[in-house]
Structure 1
Amino acid sequence: MNPSDGAETPAPTAGRHRWSRRWALWALLVTLLAALLSTLVWLAGRYESSQVQSRMEQDVVQTATDIRGALTRNVQSMQALQASSPGPEAWRVPATELLHAHREIMRLEWRDMALATVSHVETPYRLSVFERLGRDNTQADVGFACAAARRFSGPAYSTSYFLPQADGLGLEVLDMCLPVSTAGRLAGYLVATYSLPDMLSELAGRQLTRGQGLAFTEADGTRLAMHGNPARGSRAYVAQHLLDLPGNTMVLRLERQVGTPALFPNLLTALVAAMSIALVAVLALLGRDMRRRLKVEHDLADALAFRKAMEDSLVTGMRARDLQGRVTYVNPAFCQMVGLEARELLRHSMPPPYWPPELAEEYQQRQASRLAVGATLPREGFESVFMRRDGSRFPVLIIEAPLINAVGKQTGWMSAILDVSEQRRIEELSRASQDRLQATARLATVGEMASLLSHELNQPLAAISSYATGSLNLLQSAAAEAQPADNSEGLQLAMRRIAEQAERAGKVIKSVHDFVRRREQVREPIAPRLLLDAVMPLVSLQARKLGVRVLMQVDESCAPVLCDRTMVEQVLLNLARNGMQAMQGLDKSRRFDRVLILRVRAAASNAYSRWVEFAVIDHGEGIPEEVARRLFTPFFTTKAEGMGLGLSLCRTVIEQHGGFLGFEPMQPQGTIFTFTLPVAVTVAMSHEAATG
């Protein structure tokens, strides 16, 4: 062998080995594919067989239930035959109708206590089944059935027996014995003879489809009766169920013939085609999948960049916390808000650096209670106070919601945080402006009533002067006579009158002072009557000048209301003055109609709050429709000297208290202005429920 022979020999051998391995791999792949297809076909066949068998089991159970239900209804129909205690002849008429309605009953007999036949009827659909053999030969079966019926105190069935017929064929029947009672005592029996084939056809056969057979068999498999087509061959499915009747037990057998399904060839072809297409297209699918993956990654990077840009552009602070309350994410707006960097906030131990130290314990308890609520936490916002790096505090509004991941599991909480410092400053300026406007309105009201005040104060001051002069005269008279005079009673009376008149003047001055002075708005529980009593001195001044009578109707059972006393008194005084002025246009002959009513009563309530209704009722000329539309508009007035702020301020005050101010016509003439205030106890309970 030359060197060239030794160099060329291994190449064909190596190639053959590579081809052998490749063919072996292909052969293994084909074998696995064939085994897979065979297994799929076999499993599909087993699954189909199990489904067919399962449906048959359900069908035979339902059929047995239908037969038992039909037999029970037959018993009830037979019991109805004896309900009116008919005679033998009268009994035959409904018994014949019963047999017309039930083909499965061949004969119906009425027997006495000795089992002697009193009366009987035969089915009209065929000759008598006992024509050839006679009824006496089956007396033993009837006796056994009736003995069992006495024990059961209900219907009992005999074992089935065969009756040869005149046409050379035979019929399998069974007897049912039903005890008949009169006044609680056994009076006889009803015996019904059932045909087993007719039971199958009438009570259950209507449900059969082509290729099904239904049969009664003994426990050992002996067939007693058959309806439909019996199944034969290897593709026959059988389902059995016991039909347990009182005194007798049979087996109900359902048979079904299933042909070779046409699905398997189509399934095999589809599987082979699918596997072939999959093997050819796998590389194309992998290439397309790679291109799609790259595109998705690029889109994801763009989406993340867009999301980051949005987060950086937000002016609302965003904060995420885990279920333990630790901060897991903050956006730049939140960092700018608290003056801290993100690394100082993320995963920081409790308490966070933006909590004020004096409120840390309270915030810790609030966070624990909110986290304990879980995903049922309401999504409305709540206010809090945060601290900046320099130690300054600022108010924030926090709106919090559960943080749900992609699989629907809660992993923490997501919060939107708004710095409301500027909003609170504007609200404070607005409230201060509102207070100044209300104080100005009160001063304007007092200015209008200045003449009335001077007249009202002049009377008690004049009385004080008169009583003081009289007292001095009494003392001087006693001194001139140089003897003691018994003037103690007169002096005491004069002093009491001086004190009363001084107190009267002081009340008027104090009422005006309390009305016009500015003070902090403080809401406190106060009885409704005290609000009316506080404004009555000023209302009485106006009423005496205008010739108006003022009546108060106060329901003393009303609970105290929670309100700012001065503001509500201003509303009452304003509405009362408007009502009295509205009655000035009445005729002098109707001066008795000038009555102003101040009414207080309980208003409508609901499950969450209770209210008290205040009403100011006048009998004036009413409010025209064109005026009513603009009545509460600021700076709108029908008075030459008015500013147009009274009713607008009144509505603002009542709405700040959570109530409602409105008006309606008074019948037959006048107007009713009403407003509501919350009951103090209800407001306190609602506050406790919200904070708890």
Structure 2
Amino acid sequence: MKDAPLLHQNALPRPASLNWSQWYLSILKGAVGLLLILLIALLWLLRQNDIDEQRSTLIADVLWLEQSVRFHLEGNSEQLRQLALDLTRTTDPDALFILRARHILKNNSELLQLLWLDAAAKAVHGMPTRSLPRHGKDASGQDPVNRSIELAQLGKPTYSDAYWVDDVAQFEVYVPIFDEGEHRGTLLAVYSLPRLLKQQVPWWFAAKYQVRVLDANGNLLASKSKIDAASTTLSYPVIFDPPGFGMVLQVTAYRAAGNLAQTLIAALIVVLAAAVFWSLWAVRGLIQRRIDAEQALRSEYAFRKAMEDSLMVGMRARDMEGRVSYVNPAFLQMVGFSADELIGLAPPMPYWAPEEMERTLQLHNDVREGKAPHEGFEIRLMHKNGSRFDALVYEAPLIDADGEQTGWMASIIDVTARKHAEELAQQQQEKLQVTARLVTMGEMASTLAHELNQPLAAITSYNTGCLNKLESGNFSAEQLKEALEKLAVQAQRAGHIIRRVHDFVRKSEPKRVPCDLAEVIDDSIGFIEGAAKARGVRIVREIQGMRPELLADPVMLEQVLLNLMRNGIEAMRHTPSEQRRLTVKLSQLDRQQMEIRVVDRGPGIPPEVEEKLFTPLFSTKAEGMGMGLNICRSIIEVHHGRLWVEANPDGGSIFIITLPIVQQ
């Protein structure tokens, strides 16, 4: 009897366990049945989706083909328009027509014939023949050629309806020829519809679709198709305009090979069976894994919290409405507020600087709309005590465990010290550039003094001559006028030299203005030409005729050119006198870049020196500071250009400068 209670206690849990098993099996059976239902529904939905996707692809491909053919026809019409315009301008229209017609027919195989008709619709020239493509009258009793020419006289290309010649459907385009507003003739081009489809329908398109051109009555005019493929009822027509006249471009999709449905059903059955077995196995350790996961989550949260608290980068999270939902200690230290003061706040924020309020609000709205730049943006924020600081902000979407965005997470870096250092470095660089200009001007002082002495001596001479004439009384007003005009020219020359020196050496902020590089080169040569003559060096300028202006600081570019030219002159001090030539070339590389080449005939630069040539404090001269070429490269890079050196095949060096025509 003592064992009875124990047996009773051991037997109590069994009914609950059985009930749980039955309930679990019932759920499992229901889940399997639901999965089968969902499988059937999935097959049906996938089939419908496949049909819809195929139709969408068909429509997109048809629109692409129609646009491609239309662009091609319009491109040909534009060539004919240009030919019609050139025929009225050239002195030999016959040769021009033959040359251009041969080129157009060679590059457009769909064109059968190109005719030049005069104002009376008579053929002047034709390729390959002069005969009109069709004669007589149509069903309405009118001559189709004359009717089309009359329509073309309205000023734009006119297309004809399709017609048959030797079992080939073709149509025509008429382009008027006007000379000073008067109709002088017409250009007529004949298209072959089969050739047009063959030329414009790519192979991959024909492998997928049957392409047909139908007239307004539904009759077949031309087609291109894959013969061994069966078409389906999936078709899409689009109006074929130009040429119009009710013609339709109809594209029909081929039936896809294979039985995708059976393969999909088999795959889904395998997946379903695997899912059932996996679910039975997964339940076994579900509870234990959940406990382990909760423990791991607590550990992960503690680790993340410690990591965020140790960061020097400010972290701030906002929800989709822009309210602050999280801040880390680094951000709180930046702005001076506590977490309780910021959590839940909506814009405007108390740490926004009032003077930057409008821009800050715009950036806030851009972030909410998903327009935040990936490279981050700079903004000025305000500490609680009123002090300002510059911050670099990187915004990223805040995604939850379900993969849905719940807000935005920002990483904020205080860059006030860095910006101050950059500004200081920029100021030092500008001072160094001014110093370099003064050094350059000092080195050329004697030459400039000699250059300035010439106009001053001429002024003195003309002035003495005028005084002598006045004292002698033997003079005429014309003689004095001529002498005074020459005196004024020399005075202007001296003033130009002084003003040029003043503009070059004065300290000013870099100023981008539209400038002609040829004028910059001429001014630079004017500075250094005297020094070049003193050393027996001849300066040759090679400048192209047409050149665009670009935005640049002409004084800074003059500094670069003077430095490069002075280096080239000094490099040729041991070169034979007949070879002492410094060439400055200006050319346009393409629509985006201009190029300047400074070519000397010196001994050249050794490869080991060339690698360190633009390094600060490196110089090949005993008295050099090693900053000239480094400053030159910095100036060119400020203008978004490049400066490098290459060996001259004829001996010497070539310093190459490229500058963008449009500054970014």
**TM-score under structure 2 normalisation?**
0.57
Q: Contact conserved, 1:318 with 1:330, CA < 8 A, in 2?
A: yes
Q: Deviations over 1:495-548 (max 9, x none)?
A: 112211111112222222211111112333322223223323212222222222
| Equivalent residue, structure 2, for 1:414 | 409
Structure 1: 5+ residue runs without aligned partners? 1-10, 55-266, 479-484, 684-692
| Equivalent residue, structure 1, for 2:603 | 621
1:469 is displaced (CA, Å) by: 0.9
| Equivalent residue, structure 1, for 2:102 | none
| Equivalent residue, structure 1, for 2:581 | 595
Q: State the one-letter code of the partner of 1:383.
A: E
Q: State the one-letter code of the partner of 1:394.
A: F
| Equivalent residue, structure 1, for 2:557 | 568
Q: State the one-letter code of the partner of 2:330.
A: A
Q: Deviations over 1:368-402 (max 9, x none)?
A: 2343236xx54212211112223332221111111
Change (3 A) 1:530 1:398: farther
| Equivalent residue, structure 1, for 2:519 | 530
Q: State the one-letter code of the partner of 2:638.
A: Q
| Equivalent residue, structure 2, for 1:439 | 434
Q: Deviations over 1:230-254 (max 9, x none)?
A: xxxxxxxxxxxxxxxxxxxxxxxxx
Change (3 A) 1:474 1:620: same
Q: Contact conserved, 1:356 with 1:386, CA < 8 A, in 2?
A: yes
| Equivalent residue, structure 2, for 1:349 | 346
| Equivalent residue, structure 2, for 1:499 | 488
Q: Contact conserved, 2:367 with 2:395, CA < 8 A, in 1?
A: no
Change (3 A) 1:343 1:33: closer
Change (3 A) 1:603 1:416: farther
Q: CA separation in 2, counterparts of 1:505 and 1:457? A: 6
Q: CA separation in 2, counterparts of 1:403 and 1:641? A: 60
SS of equivalent residue, structure 1 residue 535: helix
Q: State the one-letter code of the partner of 1:663.
A: V
Q: CA separation in 1, counterparts of 2:17 and 2:432? A: 99
Change (3 A) 1:493 1:576: same
1:41-80 → structure 2 map (5 Å cutoff)? none
1:298 is displaced (CA, Å) by: 4.7
Q: State the one-letter code of the partner of 1:444.
A: V
Q: State the one-letter code of the partner of 1:545.
A: A
1:68-147 → structure 2 map (5 Å cutoff)? none
2:304 aligned to 304, 307, 312, which one?
Answer: 307
Change (3 A) 1:409 1:297: closer
Change (3 A) 1:23 1:548: closer
Q: CA separation in 1, counterparts of 2:533 and 2:629? A: 23
1:383 aligned to 378, 383, 386, which one?
Answer: 378
Q: CA separation in 2, counterparts of 1:515 and 1:578? A: 18
1:30-49 → structure 2 map (5 Å cutoff)? 32=22
Q: Contact conserved, 1:561 with 1:678, CA < 8 A, in 2?
A: yes
Q: Contact conserved, 2:647 with 2:654, CA < 8 A, in 1?
A: yes
Q: CA separation in 1, counterparts of 2:324 and 2:20? A: 58
Q: CA separation in 2, counterparts of 1:34 and 1:381? A: 53
Q: Contact conserved, 2:444 with 2:528, CA < 8 A, in 1?
A: no
1:233-248 → structure 2 map (5 Å cutoff)? none
Q: State the one-letter code of the partner of 2:589.
A: A
1:460 is displaced (CA, Å) by: 1.0
1:646 is displaced (CA, Å) by: 1.3
Q: CA separation in 2, counterparts of 1:370 and 1:362? A: 12
Q: CA separation in 1, counterparts of 2:27 and 2:306? A: 54
Pair 1:632 & 2:614 matched: yes
Q: State the one-letter code of the partner of 1:389.
A: K
1:366 is displaced (CA, Å) by: 3.1
Q: Contact conserved, 1:443 with 1:516, CA < 8 A, in 2?
A: yes
1:578 is displaced (CA, Å) by: 1.2
1:637 is displaced (CA, Å) by: 2.4
Q: CA separation in 1, counterparts of 2:24 and 2:450? A: 120
1:531-546 → structure 2 map (5 Å cutoff)? 531-546=520-535
| Equivalent residue, structure 2, for 1:329 | 326
1:371-520 → structure 2 map (5 Å cutoff)? 371-373=368-370, 377-478=372-473, 486-520=475-509
SS of equivalent residue, structure 1 residue 468: helix
Q: CA separation in 2, counterparts of 1:587 and 1:348? A: 80
SS of equivalent residue, structure 2 residue 326: strand
SS of equivalent residue, structure 2 residue 351: coil
| Equivalent residue, structure 1, for 2:360 | 363
Structure 2: 5+ residue runs without aligned partners? 44-272
Q: CA separation in 2, counterparts of 1:515 and 1:453? A: 13
Q: CA separation in 2, counterparts of 1:426 and 1:23? A: 77
| Equivalent residue, structure 2, for 1:663 | 645
Q: State the one-letter code of the partner of 1:626.
A: E
Q: Deviations over 1:434-493 (max 9, x none)?
A: 122222221111111111122111111111111111111111222xxxxxx552112112
| Equivalent residue, structure 1, for 2:213 | none
1:297 is displaced (CA, Å) by: 4.5
Q: CA separation in 1, counterparts of 2:346 and 2:27? A: 61
1:317 is displaced (CA, Å) by: 1.1
Q: CA separation in 1, counterparts of 2:342 and 2:580? A: 72
Q: CA separation in 2, counterparts of 1:34 and 1:453? A: 103
Higher CA-based Rg: 1
Q: CA separation in 1, counterparts of 2:13 and 2:311? A: 65
Q: CA separation in 2, counterparts of 1:340 and 1:427? A: 29
Q: CA separation in 2, counterparts of 1:25 and 1:313? A: 56
**TM-score under structure 1 normalisation?**
0.55
SS of equivalent residue, structure 2 residue 384: coil
Q: CA separation in 2, counterparts of 1:31 and 1:659? A: 78
Q: CA separation in 1, counterparts of 2:654 and 2:535? A: 19
SS of equivalent residue, structure 1 residue 373: coil
SS of equivalent residue, structure 2 residue 612: coil
Q: State the one-letter code of the partner of 2:609.
A: V
How many aligned residue pairs are there?
421
1:655 is displaced (CA, Å) by: 2.2
| Equivalent residue, structure 2, for 1:65 | none
Q: CA separation in 2, counterparts of 1:24 and 1:511? A: 108
Q: CA separation in 2, counterparts of 1:635 and 1:328? A: 53
Change (3 A) 1:36 1:329: closer
Q: State the one-letter code of the partner of 2:459.
A: I
Q: CA separation in 1, counterparts of 2:444 and 2:27? A: 107
1:24 is displaced (CA, Å) by: 11
RMSD: 3.9
Q: State the one-letter code of the partner of 1:571.
A: V
Q: CA separation in 2, counterparts of 1:37 and 1:435? A: 79
Change (3 A) 1:37 1:624: closer
1:113-262 → structure 2 map (5 Å cutoff)? none
Q: CA separation in 2, counterparts of 1:500 and 1:38? A: 107
Change (3 A) 1:488 1:309: same
Q: Contact conserved, 2:617 with 2:625, CA < 8 A, in 1?
A: yes
Q: State the one-letter code of the partner of 1:473.
A: N
Change (3 A) 1:24 1:516: closer
Q: Contact conserved, 1:320 with 1:327, CA < 8 A, in 2?
A: yes
1:293 is displaced (CA, Å) by: 5.8
Change (3 A) 1:613 1:323: farther
Q: CA separation in 2, counterparts of 1:427 and 1:312? A: 30
